[in-house]
Amino acid sequence: MSDNQSNYKMARQNGIVQPLLTDLYQITMAYAYWKSGKANDVAVFDLFFRTNPFHGEFTIFAGLEECLKFLENFHYSDSDIEYLRQTLPANIETEFYDYLKDLTCKDVKLSAIEEGSVAFPRVPLMRIEGPLIITQLIETTLLTLVNFASLMATNAARYRMVAGKNISLLEFGLRRAQGPDGGLSASKYSYIGGFDGTSNVLAGKMFNIPVKGTHAHSFVTSFSTLEDIHSVTLRHAVTREQCNLLELSLAWRKRLSSIMDVSPDEASDGELAALISYAQAFPTGFLSLVDTYDVKRYNIGLAPHRRNGRYNSNCGSDIPATTVDRTLRSGLLNFCAVALSLHDCGYRAVGIRIDSGDLAYLSILARDIFKQVAEEFNLPWFAELTIVASNDINEETILSLHEQGHAIDCFGIGTHLVTCQRQPALGCVYKLVEINGQPRIKLSQDVGKVTIPGHKEAYRLFGADGHALIDLLQRSTEAPPRTGQKVLCRHPFQESKRAYVIPSKVEHLYKVYWKDGRICVHPKPLSEVRERVQASLRTLRQDIKRNLNPTPYKVAVSDDLYSFIHDLWLQNAPIGELS
């Protein structure tokens, strides 16, 4: 095992991930292999995908750690064997069940790309070698562990790219995920892809992911009047004297109403009671929703934005004065009053969350209010209060908000992230490419489904500018490409597409992670895998990563592998007959 294993302990395997988490045909094939004497034939399988997701030109490989845990824990329990006896046909020989009971992955060898790396179509993410029966039995489980993980990490990485480096991203999707297992996986792999935290408490515990959250609208609406406040006092952070938070907040609300050009009579007392109560509970972490109440009444708003009866948000939205959110007249007024009261008690508020309405407009207006308050009362930190936005956000929403010049510091993203609504499946496949040293090829009228046969190695060749230029597949018997030496790279199926490459750097993509019944290279902690994603993405040119019409990244085969593919193709393709 590598040195990095000593300081890292993998999270426990989800109890659902077990040998019976598979398709029935894997078990029936296993019996047929066993009965026909092929159980110990030496097989090589490739696990790969054919098309990048989300109309993009890259994929993030994830799920390797879970695959290694699965191999490590692979064992049919007594109850598994009993269930199979009851489920499979009665003619199954008893000795087969005895064979399964003793079966482990000790004879399997798994090589893979490093988790968190960018990957591309046709380049195997993992190569699985070993006895045919066991390498077949683990197929479905490996696919389910890699497919969603890689899709989710890729989706998160795309959100990180469109959001930019300076905006925080939080995953809020547990309640919308495809069940608890989908929710946990989404939290884990969104963090790997570049998100900064999750609302999922169990994911935080299991995977050491920062957990973030504030309160829901129900907390605000559970308060009706100021009489609903159980206690109005808070100890000063420094002097420990009792502060009357209600009196301070009411005084600040009155004082702020003239500065903000709003009426204190419009602000909801129930909302103020809720914010005071939340501030008492979390005086050092006061971040609150400000959009619980929304009415359309008066032509009131911030003077700098009011012009001819309309409000100009300076962000592409020209909103009629009669439809200005009460967020501005109640939520923001109440928040600022409580935030300033907390400051009087020695604390600093964190910020606000906006979950509805015109996010660009409201964020800019909120920032203007914060700056105005900061200047009026000489509190520079108030201008920098955090503005969090949620509300069904996707990639296009973020791009649009950027175009409008929003003032948002953090996005909370749920449904579109965790369900991968733009593309719900990656489509990884698991194909036999060699048996007992003999190559195997799957032919199809759809050239995209023709497999690349044989035991292969993969290399990433870098150009003179330091960016990844092309991924090269070649037969394992070939000498690896060398830095500074010309390499002929060919399209696997189109004869005319070929080019010479002189790489400035050559990276061998595969490491052996599992062999002889043990983990050879231990997975890295999630924080390091997360860093690997960003480092790997930096090796790609910007045009490959762009959101609209990205440039395809090239995947090629060596000249030797090209000839090998086409010779085998001719050997296996039937000869037609004209009549």
> Is the domain of 144 the same as that of 278?
no
> Is the domain of 144 the same as that of 249?
no
pLDDT of residue 322: 34
Kindly state the helix (H) or strand (E) to which residue 567 belongs, with its residue range: helix 559-572
User: Which residues, in sequence order, are bridge partners of residue 475?
Assistant: 456
Task: Write down the residue that tokens 């929304």 correspond to.
Answer: 294
> Is the domain of 237 the same as that of 331?
yes
Helix, strand or coil for residue 110? strand
pLDDT of residue 431: 97
CA distance 536 to 534: 5
- For residue 287, tell me if it sits in a domain: yes
The domain tally of the chain equals 2
- For residue 471, tell me if it sits in a domain: no
> Is the domain of 387 the same as that of 431?
no
> Is the domain of 245 the same as that of 343?
yes
> Which of 266, 274, 272 is closest to 296 using CA atoms?
266
> Is the domain of 254 the same as that of 341?
yes
CA distance 143 to 443: 21
pLDDT of residue 468: 98
CA distance 84 to 2: 38
- For residue 557, tell me if it sits in a domain: no
198-207: long-range contacts (C-beta < 8 A, 24 or more apart)?
Answer: 198/170, 198/171, 198/172, 198/174, 199/170, 199/171, 199/172, 199/174, 199/412, 200/171, 200/174, 203/174, 206/11, 206/12, 207/11, 207/526
- For residue 128, tell me if it sits in a domain: yes
- For residue 168, tell me if it sits in a domain: no
> Is the domain of 242 the same as that of 322?
yes
> Which of 525, 452, 571, 546 is closest to 209 using CA atoms?
525
Helix, strand or coil for residue 124? coil
CA distance 66 to 416: 24
pLDDT of residue 294: 64
457-478 residues labelled b (16+ CB within 10 A) or e (exposed): bbbbbbeeeeebbbbbbbbeee
pLDDT of residue 321: 41
Ranges of the chain whose pLDDT falls below 70: 1-8, 294-326
- For residue 202, tell me if it sits in a domain: no
> Is the domain of 384 the same as that of 434?
no
> Is the domain of 342 the same as that of 290?
yes
CA distance 110 to 138: 12
> Is the domain of 219 the same as that of 104?
no
- For residue 182, tell me if it sits in a domain: no
- For residue 373, tell me if it sits in a domain: yes
* Joined tokens for residue 422: 């733009």
Q: Write down the pTM of the prediction.
A: 0.92
Task: Write down the residue that tokens 């070929």 correspond to.
Answer: 498
* Joined tokens for residue 489: 């790279």
> CATH number for the domain including 44?
3.20.140.10
pLDDT of residue 71: 98
Range of the domain at 320: 215-391
